[in-house]
Amino acid sequence: MEMLLLAIAALIYLGLALGVILVVDNLVGLVFRDPRAPVQPSFFDIGRAFVASQKLYRK
C-alpha cells in the first residue's frame, strides 16, 4: 500500500514539475523573442483574408 502511494506521489510530483517547466519556458519565450523567427499571422488576419477572398470570388 505504501509503495502505491509513493508511486502516485512521484507521478504527481513529476507532472507538477513538468508543468512548472512549461510555464517558465513559455514566459521566457514571451520576454526573449528570437528576432530571426518568422512572425506567425494571427487568426484575425487569416479570417480577414478569407472574407476578402470570398468577396472577390463572388464578383
**What digits encode the pLDDT tens for the residues 8-41?**
999 999 999 999 999 999 999 888 887 776 666 5
In a domain, 18, yes or no: yes
Beta-carbon contacts of 56 under 8 Å, excluding residues fewer than 6 positions away, are none
Q: What pLDDT score was predicted for residue 35?
A: 74
Q: How many domains does the chain have?
A: 1
> Which residues form the domain of 24?
1-34
Name the H helices within the chain: 2-31, 43-58
End-to-end CA distance of the chain: 72
Q: Cell numbers 506567425 correspond to what residue?
A: 40
In a domain, 56, yes or no: no
Mean pLDDT value of segment 2-8: 95
Q: Taking the model in full, what pTM does it have?
A: 0.51
In a domain, 3, yes or no: yes
In a domain, 23, yes or no: yes
Q: What pLDDT score was predicted for residue 3?
A: 95
In a domain, 5, yes or no: yes
Q: What pLDDT score was predicted for residue 29?
A: 87
> What angle is formed at CA 33 by the lines to CA 32 and CA 39, rounded to 5 degrees?
165
